[in-house]
Amino acid sequence: MLKNGLIKRTLIVWLGPAVFLLATCSARQATIGRKKSADFLNADKQDIQQWREMKFGLFIHWGPVSLKGTEIGWSRGGERRGRSGKGQIPAEEYDNLYKQFNPVKFDADEWVQVAKDAGMKYLVFTSKHHDGFSMFDSKLTEYKITKSPFKRDVVRELADACHKAGLRLGFYYSPVDWYHPDYRTENHARYIEFLHGQIRELCTNYGKLDIMWFDGLGGSAKDWDSENLFRMIRRLQPHIIINNRAGLAADHDTPEQRIGKFQTGRPWETCMTICRQWAWKPNDQMKSLKQCIQTLVKTVGGDGNLLFNVGPMPDGRIEPRQVDRLREMGRRLQKYGQSIYGTRGGPFKTGSWGASTHKDKTIYIHVFNWDGDTLTLPPIPKKIIASSVLTGGTATVKQNKESIEISIPNAYQQELDTIIKLQLDGPASEIAPVSMLSASLAYRKKVKASNVYQNMHQYSGDKAVDDDPSTRWATDTGTNQARLEVDMGKPMTFDRASISEEFDRIQKFELQHRNDEQWRTFAQGTKIGKKLKLEFSPVTARHVRLNILDATEGPTIREFQLFAPKK
């Protein structure tokens, strides 16, 4: 027995050239017409396409840590080899939580039914997180669910339930392991044997596996011997999709807790929590139905998938209020799923106004924010031959060489999402993606930020004026005051502003303008939140700044917009 209850084993995970050739030939015979062995880094296009068409999946982070209501993995104290920081629960206490873990109300069929009721097409479950605890009956460790009072193999039951219900199955697995005694030590090679052995178990013992979701925390391919790992995975599960967090680009990108940028050339999937924490937390703040629906639509409109996370409770149930929210989403998808499933993002790029999706000769326009009764879209090289409003009412659509105008009376404008269906005289896929004409006077103007998070370009001040909700201006940890100055090039008149914050950290702010050497305040407030709209007496100025006077932690702004008076 090894330290911490690990069983000492030797696994052969690297195959010599001759043996590997035989194994590959055998795999080819079993999957005639599939990939050449040299293509192990990427899935087949057909498998990627099927995954992209599903659009919506359920992510589940769960383990003994739910007894504490703190974050999975990260709340564990003790050394984090390869990372800095320490969690709030002493390692000895955290590592022994499983001895009290007995989720007697866990019902895999019920979980799967919740996912299906939500309109989700696949499920990804945490088989092992950074804390090293295995939620499956691994033969390579004693630190596992079957050694808890519960004694049952959660992964086995969940895999069987997914297969029975026709829900695609994925496993999250963290190559990072702060529990294993050999991880990132002089004996790291032994840890690699353990890692590869556990992945072999997951790919061998639980039937068809559709997704392998790694979470390597920036580790390199060398750290995990990923090339040999991928060879083994794709040989055992020829149609699997693998994400980009094991040191290799693999099949898709994984923006976390944010909606990915508009990207059609490479597949991507936003992973995001329905509450704030990945694992269950009592009374955690949950997203509204509006936030949930618009997150899904913006993600799909950007040509991505959404992997939406819940954290089950210590007794094994998904929290009832979270179940209710997911089922609300499902009921809406039953009505309007045609505008989501099987579509591609665009051609109109996502923005604060809303998003668009398309399929065959149809474009679906999803509008979140109306400016009056009319939405103006850029022109497209296809003729609109018919239109309808899926969410109810009628629309007037005018198309010319300069623009497309869609007008809907206020009574038919939906708070969650107004969906207009445009039928074209040719394939929508032939239309190149096009950006919306921004109404913000600050759009792409010169900016000066007082602070940028670690001086990283992806968090620079210009990200607050790009009308892209997937980007943001961020400041360093510990920043309590910050300024964002916009130079509009010439004096402009405006009487409205819209500000979108991330993380609700700002406690006090003011808007100021300058036409000479003195800054003058024309609006002020306290909280900003996800979106704040301000109206004030008309101001004419070239220089405008958002002056953050007090914040609990480094403030982050997704969008800062200024608008001219309505005519």
Q: What is the pLDDT along the chain (567 residues), one digit of tens a residue?
A: 333 444 333 333 333 333 333 333 333 334 433 445 457 889 999 999 999 999 999 999 999 999 999 999 999 999 999 998 899 999 999 999 999 999 999 999 999 999 999 999 999 999 999 999 999 999 999 999 999 999 999 999 999 999 999 999 999 999 999 999 999 999 999 999 999 999 999 999 999 999 999 999 889 999 999 999 999 999 999 999 999 999 999 999 999 998 999 999 999 999 999 999 999 999 999 999 999 999 999 999 999 999 999 999 999 999 999 999 999 999 999 999 999 999 999 999 998 889 999 999 999 999 999 978 999 999 999 999 999 999 999 999 999 999 999 999 999 999 999 999 999 999 999 999 998 767 789 988 999 999 999 999 989 999 999 887 778 999 999 999 999 999 999 999 999 999 999 888 999 999 999 988 899 999 999 999 988 999 999 999 999 999 999 999 999 999 999 999 987
Q: Which residues are 551's β-sheet partners? A: 506
- CA separation for the pair 245, 525 (Å, rounded): 41
Give the tokens for residue 123. 């499920």
- 165 closest CA partner among 115, 103, 207, 238: 115
Q: What is the CATH number of domain 3-9+16-337?
A: 3.20.20.80
For CATH 3.20.20.80, the residue range(s) in the chain are: 3-9+16-337
Give the list of residues 6+ apart from residue 251 with CB closer than 8 angstroms, or none.
42, 43, 48, 241, 242, 243, 244, 267
For CATH 2.60.120.260, the residue range(s) in the chain are: 446-563
Tokens 């080899």, located at residue: 81
Fill in the DSSP letter of residue 134.
B
Res 516: pLDDT = 81
- CA separation for the pair 413, 415 (Å, rounded): 7
- 429 closest CA partner among 484, 361, 350, 510: 361
Give the tokens for residue 235. 């040989």
For CATH 2.60.40.1180, the residue range(s) in the chain are: 344-430
User: Does the structural domain 446-563 have CATH classification 2.60.120.260?
Assistant: yes
**Structural element, H or E, at residue 376:** strand 374-377
pTM check: above 0.85: no
Q: What is the CATH number of domain 344-430?
A: 2.60.40.1180
Determine how β-strand 168-173 pairs with β-strand 122-128.
parallel
Give the tokens for residue 308. 């939406």
Res 435: pLDDT = 84
Q: Which residues are 270's β-sheet partners? A: 306
